């Protein structure tokens, strides 16, 4: 069974003159899932026991992206032979150009033109990708191509049944089942104003 760790962080910008505690990196405070303060070094030791680490983020939070890089560097230093990075920002159908860039075959400019990065890529994500390139770390494009998400959003999961076998390698194996009772999805439905069940359009957006 794969061991997972969900890296839950409360990121607080420290006021001018404040200093982080020993063994902590500055600019944030770490808490466990139970709400207890935890030192950076102890967190790393716990993360080293996991096979997969999920790092939740606010996409526009530069402190979170900086910490992603720091955690990646420290975990890679401890176990460089069994380390890889995955990113939601990259869609699965750009894996080839991502691999070519990491291998030094594609210029960075071409890679960034073809990989469809998010608007804040240069400031927040590029340092992680460059670190992977420098250290020859495998980097996985983990997201579904947005065209297939759009198909579900505009129709339903059944819209995926007609895609080709070539296209299916970029998505989860069909049929896909979405548990709409998960707290995160119920929260999204509530945001749409239709309660936890909502209308068909809202359900399609969440499933997408």
User: Which domains, and CATH codes, for the chain?
Assistant: 4-143 (3.40.50.11550), 157-207 (no CATH)
CA angle 117, 118, 122 (to 5 degrees): 80
**pLDDT tens string 130-187:** 999 999 999 999 999 999 999 999 999 999 999 999 999 999 999 999 999 999 898 9
Q: What is the pTM of this model?
A: 0.81
Q: How far apart are CA 208 and CA 195, in angstroms?
A: 18
Given a cut of 90, whether residue 15 has pLDDT beyond it is: no
Q: How far apart are CA 30 and CA 10, in angstroms?
A: 6
Of residues 27 and 160, which shows the higher confidence score? Answer: 160
For a pLDDT cut of 90, what percent of the chain falls above it?
70
Cβ-contact 92, 170 below 8 angstroms: yes
Helices (H), 22-115: 40-47, 62-78, 95-102, 108-114
* pLDDT band, residue 37 (cuts 50/70/90): very high
Identify any residues that bridge with 55 across adjacent strands, giving them in sequence order. 7
Q: How far apart are CA 69 and CA 132, in angstroms?
A: 10
Given a cut of 60, whether residue 23 has pLDDT beyond it is: no
Q: How far apart are CA 1 and CA 43, in angstroms?
A: 22
């Amino acid at each position: 069974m794969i061991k997972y760790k969900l890296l839950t962080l409360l990121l607080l910008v420290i006021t001018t003159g404040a200093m982080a505690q020993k063994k902590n990196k500055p600019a944030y405070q770490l808490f466990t899932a139970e709400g207890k303060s935890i030192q950076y070094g102890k967190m790393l030791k716990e993360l080293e026991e996991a096979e997969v680490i999920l790092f939740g983020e606010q996409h526009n939070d530069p402190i979170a992206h900086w910490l992603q890089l720091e955690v990646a560097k420290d975990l890679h230093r401890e176990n460089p032979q069994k380390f890889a990075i995955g990113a939601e920002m990259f869609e699965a159908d750009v894996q080839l150009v991502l691999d070519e860039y990491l291998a030094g075959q594609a210029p960075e400019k071409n890679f960034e033109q073809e990989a469809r990065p998010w608007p804040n890529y240069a400031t927040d994500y590029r340092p992680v990708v460059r670190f992977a390139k420098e250290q020859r770390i495998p980097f996985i494009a983990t997201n579904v191509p947005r065209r297939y998400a759009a198909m579900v959003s505009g129709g339903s999961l059944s819209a995926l049944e007609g895609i080709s076998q070539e296209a299916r390698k970029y998505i989860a194996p069909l049929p896909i089942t979405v548990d709409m009772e998960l707290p995160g999805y119920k929260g999204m439905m509530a945001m749409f104003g239709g309660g936890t069940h909502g209308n068909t359009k809202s359900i399609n957006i969440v499933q997408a």
